[in-house]
Amino acid sequence: MHDSRITKIAELIVSYSIDVREGDNVWIDNNTSDPALALELMRCIAERGGKPYVKTGNQRITRQLLKYATEDQLRLWAENDLALMKQMQGYIALSGSENISELSDVPAERMQLYRKLYLKPIHFDVRLPNTKWVLLRYPNSAMAQLANMSTEAFENFYFDVCTMDYARMDRAQDALKALMDRTDQVRLVGPGTDLTFSIKGIGSVKCSGQNNLPDGEVFTAPVRDSVNGVITYNTPSPYGGYVYENVRLEFSQGRIVQASAAANNDGLNQIFDTDEGARYAGEFAIGVNPYILQPMKDILFDEKIAGSFHFTPGMCIDSTPNGNHSSVHWDLVNIQRPDYGGGEIWFDGRLIRKDGLFVVPELEPLNPDNLK
């Protein structure tokens, strides 16, 4: 796949998403089998006076490493990559696994160690607060299969959604951000869901192409101990190489006190037992991307689905701090459009979205027909 669309998305990433400046060090983390986008990113970064650094990975190699690595080995690996990350002003992660279940047979305790020793210090503690970063997928036949599309149709969909008018989306998100910033009580209602929590004083952040491609959400975080009730997620969600379905969480005073899924309840609860913060929520977000309508078992896409929200167990984002710290951050998604059972979002007793569509005038520009 070598065409002008790759140049377009590379230029969008470099000039808009991370806004590369003269002298910026930029780490390109290329976990794809096709170097085309990484090569184009390197050219664009250099043209703006930045300095690209490229590391190439592979999920099969990562699996083998995690299965056999000692704790000392993981610490040394993390120490080296942490030293590199601390010198970066930008970070671009390209992923395109041929098998989303590649890590499914890595023992749970090793995945927990990997999250604790590698992912948390490098990505959560350093990359997130200190670099300009963007995460994106690179289209391949495996992703097309997950989306139930032909490879060509998926490529067309991918480039449409990743290069949409994000500046327009950004403007339309202003009203939702303003409303979330002044809201106290939130209630989420739908099949198997009746959840209440406060977002008072947390603040909110617009996401319109800067950190994710595709993008399209406004997020905040619940006050840590304020979450009560039950939530049932109707979107399949991969974690650690396993896809969980019909995840149901019961919260009391902020803590997950009961967790179940259609299958693998033991694995599900092992995730929430990773550390203390894994049983508390770190994010609440509303998805608004008009081009993403169906789940494809890829959280980067699924959390942006028009008419969805995600409510995230684990670590909070530094820009919306609620005091919850964890090596887990799992964006579990619920779609509230009528074809998925419907649902409602209430802010301070006012209905703001019903069955996936905003019903207050100032938010209607975010409905799909108005963003395309």
How does pLDDT run across 168-180, given as a tens digit for each residue? 999 999 999 999 9
pLDDT in the model for residue 2: 56
First-to-final CA distance of the chain: 26
Lowest mean pLDDT among 60-74, 186-200, 275-289: 60-74
CATH number of the domain encompassing residue 91: 3.40.1830.10
pLDDT in the model for residue 15: 95
Exposed e or buried b per residue across 139-158, where buried means at least 16 C-beta atoms within 10 angstroms of its C-beta: bbebbbebbebeeeebbebb
For residues 232 and 366, membership in a common domain is answered with yes
Look at 160 and 220; give whichever has higher pLDDT.
Answer: 220
- Cα–Cα distance for residue pair 284/70, rounded to 1 Å: 36
State whether residue 176 is helix, strand or coil: helix
Domain span at residue 244 reads: 166-371
pLDDT in tens, 276-334: 999 999 999 999 999 999 999 999 999 999 999 999 999 999 999 999 999 999 999 99
pLDDT in the model for residue 50: 98
For residues 214 and 328, membership in a common domain is answered with yes
Q: Which among 332, 335, 333, 330 is positioned nearest to 293, based on CA atoms?
A: 335
Q: Which residues contact 105 (CB under 8 A, 6 or more apart)?
A: 63, 67, 241
- Cα–Cα distance for residue pair 204/178, rounded to 1 Å: 8
For residues 37 and 88, membership in a common domain is answered with yes
Domain termination site, one of 112, 131, 162:
162
For residues 315 and 352, membership in a common domain is answered with yes
- Cα–Cα distance for residue pair 261/227, rounded to 1 Å: 20
How many domains does the chain divide into? 2
For residues 197 and 345, membership in a common domain is answered with yes
Chain centroid to Cα 130, Å, comes to: 18
What percentage of the chain reaches a pLDDT higher than 90?
Answer: 85
pLDDT bracket for residue 241 (50, 70, 90): confident
For residues 65 and 187, membership in a common domain is answered with no
For residues 69 and 14, membership in a common domain is answered with yes
Q: Which residues contact 259 (CB under 8 A, 6 or more apart)?
A: 247, 248, 249, 250, 265, 268, 269, 272
For residues 331 and 351, membership in a common domain is answered with yes
pLDDT in tens, 45-61: 999 999 999 999 888 99
Cα–Cα distance list, 248 to 191, 251, 265, 270, 339 (Å): 11, 10, 10, 15, 20
Q: Is the peptide bond before 214 cis (omega within 30 degrees of 0)?
A: yes
For residues 304 and 170, membership in a common domain is answered with yes
pLDDT in the model for residue 174: 98
Whole-structure pTM value? 0.84
- Cα–Cα distance for residue pair 6/368, rounded to 1 Å: 26
Exposed e or buried b per residue across 218-237, where buried means at least 16 C-beta atoms within 10 angstroms of its C-beta: bbbbbbbbbbebebbbbbbb
For residues 52 and 173, membership in a common domain is answered with no
- Cα–Cα distance for residue pair 115/62, rounded to 1 Å: 13
279, two tokens: 């049983």
pLDDT of 1 higher than 80: no
Domain termination site, one of 162, 197, 219:
162
pLDDT of 138 higher than 90: no
Q: Which among 257, 263, 267 is positioned nearest to 229, based on CA atoms?
A: 257
For residues 191 and 222, membership in a common domain is answered with yes
